[in-house]
Structure 1
Amino acid sequence: MENNFNTLIETFFNNKNDITTRGKALMELSDFIEKEEDYERYIRTFLDKLNILEDQILEKDGEYSTTGEALDRYILAKLSIFFKVFDFKSLLLKFMRTYAEDFINNFYEEDDSNIITIEKIEEIYDYMVKNFEYFETLSPFEYTIIKYSHLFNSLATFNTNFNIGDYYQFFFFNIKDRDISPIYVTIHEFGHYIHTNYSKGKMNIDRKILKKLKNTGFSYISDADPYSQKETLADILAIGIMYNSPYENCDPFKEIPKEDKKIFNELVKEMLKDFYKKYIK
């Protein structure tokens, strides 16, 4: 039994480039831990290995695009919740299985590449800094480029109790739909990033935003569910960022009137200014 556990640990932490195999090992680890009376010892071993992985990642600054390192960073971002639920076996096992299923079922290898590059992300960031005052006062961020396709084109993680000094993490995947621009996906994520900072992680849509959108084609946002609200606002902010920019041809919302897009551009600038006045100044 002990040898089986050690083999699964070895597979999960050292099989760097195969996310599906790592997911299967994590699922088997959850089954193993569930059956053991001395399960806390095995959980501690797993968390010790996770701590070592975190130390290895923290030794390297900036972006990640090498497949193994990128997957390690994604795995750590997802599994860091384990440290908070260590004392709750059933909850820990639930998280283990949820993320194992993600690793097994939601990653795909593609022959073609439709993925953002480090150089393009840096270019977009420089454009944002030059054209949107206060953008560079937002929380620090890191990004990871993962050369797998995923159920989602991109993801982000941040602390539930978000503070302005906390790191915000972007994950960009190889986009399966070749009609979707990686530039648009990146700018959409910058929309979430602005909203997260503006709302301090609450992701609510306040009255000022609703008032700004009242006379646009997105006035329905006030009646949407919370998930749809935040996704719609990220689109709105992305459209505003791309308005009259070098990236305008990547805007998939061709049918939206220019007058609305101008309002969205103004909204981006107002949210950044309000953020600065409220939290930084």
Structure 2
Amino acid sequence: MTTEDPARKESGPLLFLAVTFATAWAAWGVAIALGQPAMSFPTVIPYLVGAFGPMFGAIAVRLRRAARRRSAPAHAVRFPLTGLLWTPVLLVVAAGTVVGGALLAQQLGGPPVSLPAALTLLETSGGPIAFAAVMLVVGPLSEEFGWRGTMHPRLRARMGLLPAGLLLGVVWSVWHLPLFFVAGTVQNAFGLLTPSGLVYLVSVVPMAVLAACGYERAGVLGAVVVHFGANATMSLVGVSELLPQALVVGAQAVAALVLLAVHRDRREKASAAHGPVREQPAPALR
């Protein structure tokens, strides 16, 4: 009977990152080379393929785990029935951070929040259903089975919720870098070496923690709802200037800290009711 190499056991995150970055950056490299707007043909094909990089990474990890007959990693959240109760709350929190930041920026002399502009966007997008479908697929569904559903629980098992969320946020931010060079993207409009571009890269980190809190409450569905709520509201409100960007980042950071505090309080109450929870050694990552 042989002992499996620990490095081999812990290579799941490395496999995920390798597949995620390789597929996304290769596809987006093609989109950059084509030089056309992201949503124009044929650039839209590599642009969308790249967006599914985390999904490809998740599939690769799951296929290998199945081949090795490994169990799910520690802290993997399967879909809980209570998640259905949390999803509307998470949606309101995610959207509220954007609306709150934008309205505060307006009060401080920033750009006004325009309802007619939001309605025009919905109309030009083919209506509310088409808009919601695009915003749901490109980002939430294409990414969250990877970032939160696959990578987060593996990091969570080693370093806790907040450090895992912060680290994954940094990785997630770096992953977006090629989009600054794809014409027609939000990132390209900001520009990489500009205040707005740098704030965008920073903004991914509190969003990652917020999505991680959503995952802890309602599994992948919770992370998808948070991602969708923030992205869709950002588009509708039209957050594109530095002041509202910065205030939205601050609002998301505060919301994430509140959810973390609620999560910790719930665990402490559970410990008080059922006795102290004995820490078990973290299993090897798979």
Q: Does TM, scored on the shorter chain, surpass 0.5?
A: no
Which structure has the larger Rg?
A: 1
TM-score interval, smaller chain: under 0.3
Larger RCO of the pair (alpha carbons < 8 Å, separation 6+):
2
Q: Identify the structure with the greater helix proportion.
A: 2
Normalising by structure 1, report the TM-score: 0.28
